Amino acid sequence: MGTNVPESTVEGPRWRATDGGSLTRLVAKFSLARRMVGYRFSSYIFSHLWLLQIVFTLLRRVRPIAIFGNLVILTKMNDVREILGRFDDFTLGEVIEPGMPWGPFLMTVDWNEQHQRERELLQSVVKRDVDPQIIKKTVVEECRERIGAADGRIDMVAEFAEPVVVRIAADYFGVPSLKGDKRRMARATRNLAGIIMVNPPVGSQPWIDSREDMIELTQLLLEEIAVAKSATSSSHRGNRPDNLLTRLSALLGARTNPSWFDEDWVRRYLTGLVATGLATVVRGTAHTVDQLLAHPGALREAQKLAAVLDRAEAHEHSIGGTGSEVDLKSAAQRVKQSQDALAHYIYEALRFRPMLPLLVRDAPRETIIANGTKRARVVPAGARILAGPLAAMFDPDVFPRPSHFDPKRPIDNYIHFGDGDRRCFGKYVAENALMEMVRALLRLPDLARASGSDGQVRYEGPAPCSFVLTFNKRAAGAQER
């Protein structure tokens, strides 16, 4: 009797199980689709800043420190600097760790003493008198090659800036391209930077792509570190290129190393450099050029300054070691003055579209912001604080006439690289790369946007993926000759 079960009895439960599984999958797909809408919206407002500007402007007038439940929004420069400067009171690790799946990195370390130890170790392998020149040489060579290959039209993201930062990764960081493919490496830096700026939903394609990139980059770095470490202890040490990976690997065998410094630490640090630095430089370069093109008068002046800087460097090079000490000092001073003048235009252009418009911190305990002022507020424990450079750099108390492009503003007023003890460690890399890439584009005769949507910065998630420019190829060739 037990074996003669009606077929309908058998099929019924099967149908219900299948139906239940389909329903579960449908609900999961709907949930992912809903979260992707939120991700795309967040990516949009992170890159197209008009909505944030409106919100910050309104709040600055009515409630400079605005608290909505556990969300705190700051709109004044002094308050943003205060938050960024109070290391122990406002943490970052819990906020940013989900976007850094490769493990703890300098940015996620909330213990001040440990943060300083790690920063000092990193500082010990940077050659401040040599490395800027290495970076400059790398960028100049790659820019020249990329522009030379262009026929009056160039995608300054995919065909210019991304190849430059991929080469910085190889030549200066010591991180070669994934599988020897530079385009693949550029895409990986874009994906990894994207999950830090706006973390995509778990299970989404951007999330899957970033994890696959993470696995490949981890394996690549472990292999490179092993080779560098082996060469350090052999007669082939002198054959290794002088880059950050080689320098850090050379320290691994020292007996005086702290317990936390090992191969995995080197891997995590170099991964962090690739993920946090390279695509950010691409974003910064694209936004700088976008805003110079949006302000034609500023573009013309920046082009003149780029030419002045070229002449100053040519003069310094021409006198070489033959000039007197006074002449050499004077020539170096002219170069420095020209660089500073052009840097003002770059910083001011970036003010309108910062590399990172929002910085986030957590308040682990109740505290006060702007204590002693009329706008002082008590921040509840567990609050999340939006300390936006975009808001701070439009504060009229620090930037009078904030909607006006003014390249004469004090350079120290800008906070493009953060502030306080967490100020961007790779600032020296980004500044040199930005300067040389922007200069290379400013030299191009009749520089302009391409027509239509191609001439606007386009994004994949929050990371730029395309921005097409046009220029006079024939005149550019005549300049080279």
pLDDT in tens, 170-200: 999 999 999 999 999 999 999 998 888 999 9
**pLDDT computed for residue 101 by the predictor:** 83
Q: Using the 8-state DSSP alphabet, how is residue 174 labeled?
A: -
HSE (CB half, 13 Å, CA atoms) of 8?
0
Tell which residue, 341, 268, 357, has the closest CA to residue 307.
Answer: 341
SS (H, E, C) 380-433: CCCEEEEECHHHHCCCCCCCCCCCCCCCCCCHHHCCCCCCHHHCCCCHHHHHHH
CB–CB of 421/116 below 8 Å?
Answer: yes
pLDDT in tens, 205-218: 999 999 999 999 99
pLDDT at 313 over 70: yes
> What are the extents of the domains in the chain?
60-480
CA distances from 108 to 82, 115, 181, 332 (A): 19, 9, 30, 39
CATH of 60-480, one of 1.10.10.10, 1.10.645.10, 3.40.50.620, 1.10.630.10: 1.10.630.10
pLDDT in tens, 325-352: 888 899 999 999 999 999 999 999 999 9
CA distances from 192 to 38, 87, 120, 167, 426 (A): 19, 26, 25, 17, 17
Q: Mean of the pLDDT values across residues 422-450?
A: 96
Helix (H) or strand (E) holding 459: strand 458-460
SS (H, E, C) 61-100: HHCCEEEECCEEEECCHHHHHHHHHCCCCCECHHHHHHHC
CA-derived radius of gyration, the chain: 26
Least confident of 13-17, 179-183, 278-282: 13-17
The percentage of residues in the chain with a pLDDT greater than 70, rounded to a whole number, is 93
pLDDT in tens, 113-163: 999 999 999 999 999 999 999 999 999 999 999 999 999 999 999 999 999
CB–CB of 144/440 below 8 Å?
Answer: yes
**pLDDT computed for residue 345 by the predictor:** 98
pLDDT in tens, 34-93: 999 999 999 999 999 999 999 999 999 999 999 999 999 999 999 999 999 999 999 998
Least confident of 124-133, 271-280, 370-379: 271-280
Tell which residue, 304, 287, 243, has the closest CA to residue 437.
Answer: 287
8 vs 227: CA distance, rounded Å: 65
- On average, the pLDDT of the chain sits at 91
pLDDT band at 20 (very low <50, low <70, confident <90, very high): low
pLDDT band at 230 (very low <50, low <70, confident <90, very high): confident
82 vs 71: CA distance, rounded Å: 17
pLDDT at 12 over 70: no
Tell which residue, 220, 214, 211, 222, has the closest CA to residue 262.
Answer: 222
CB–CB of 419/108 below 8 Å?
Answer: no
**pLDDT computed for residue 10 by the predictor:** 40
Least confident of 20-29, 159-168, 206-215: 20-29
pLDDT at 109 over 50: yes
CA 312 to chain centre: 30
Tell which residue, 266, 272, 131, has the closest CA to residue 189.
Answer: 272
312 vs 435: CA distance, rounded Å: 15
Tell which residue, 358, 346, 297, has the closest CA to residue 53.
Answer: 358
Helix (H) or strand (E) holding 458: strand 458-460
